[in-house]
Chain A
Amino acid sequence: AQSVTQLDSQVPVFEEAPVELRCNYSSSVSVYLFWYVQYPNQGLQLLLKYLSGSTLVKGINGFEAEFNKSQTSFHLRKPSVHISDTAEYFCAVIPNGETSGSRLTFGEGTQLTVNP
């Protein structure tokens, strides 16, 4: 089984400041990792994903994340945030491999609020 812990439920920042949203996971098997963003009354939109290869992954809207296997972390970062980045962010994992099942396991989310 897998579990995902998002260490901060709320992160307030000022516009143009850097931000890091933290995610740790637990799994007995190798996993793929994802970050999704959810705007109010909207579905989830994929920001970025780590499947294999370089541990630094770049996504949409200027976000990036780094996979750290030894620390079982996948923190999301952006060097300069905008008001429009205000949203709920979810970290998620899925076991890799054909026989490992297909369900995403999500963290509880981090509400990012960007203030002017």
Chain B
Amino acid sequence: GAGVSQSPRYKVAKRGQDVALRCDPISGHVSLFWYQQALGQGPEFLTYFQNEAQLDKSGLPSDRFFAERPEGSVSTLKIQRTQQEDSAVYLCASSLRRLMNTEAFFGQGTRLTVV
């Protein structure tokens, strides 16, 4: 596609519900990143994939958060047993090469609200 696509754009989840957020990166992009942006804050790193390999997951806030990219293209961020503090915009970014010092393209994000 022309850009990074994320779905759904908006998600309302009841506390304790599991959610899955999808990211379609730009075709051919090797690197894929997930960021969490709380209201009024800058994005914070969650995890990084190089192709299908998850090379860095140190930013995931708890073991309720899980990300995968099984075929090296589409990625899914899953949050189990959602809590109110998980409410945020989840941004996905991809870049052509292995390191993010090349331009990274961001999707529009998924706004998750946990009620």
Contact = CB atoms under 8 A, between A and B. Distances in A.
Interface of A: 4, 32, 36, 41-46, 49, 51, 90, 92, 94, 96, 98, 101-109
A41 B108 contact: yes
Nearest to B49: A102
B81 to A, nearest CB: 26
A99 to B, nearest CB: 10
Given A32-B101, A44-B91, A106 B44 contact: yes
B103 A46 contact: yes
B48 A102 contact: yes
Nearest to B58: A103
Interface of B: 4, 31, 33, 35, 40-45, 48, 55-56, 59, 91, 93, 98-101, 103-104, 106-109
Nearest to B41: A108
Given A51-B101, A94-B100, A101-B56, A43 B106 contact: yes
Contact of A102 (B33, B42, B44, B109): B33
B108 A103 contact: no
A32 B103 CA distance: 12
A103 B101 contact: no
Contacts of B48: 102-103
B57 to A, nearest CB: 11
A106 B43 contact: yes
Nearest to B48: A102
A102 B93 CA distance: 12
Contacts of A44: 43, 91, 93, 106
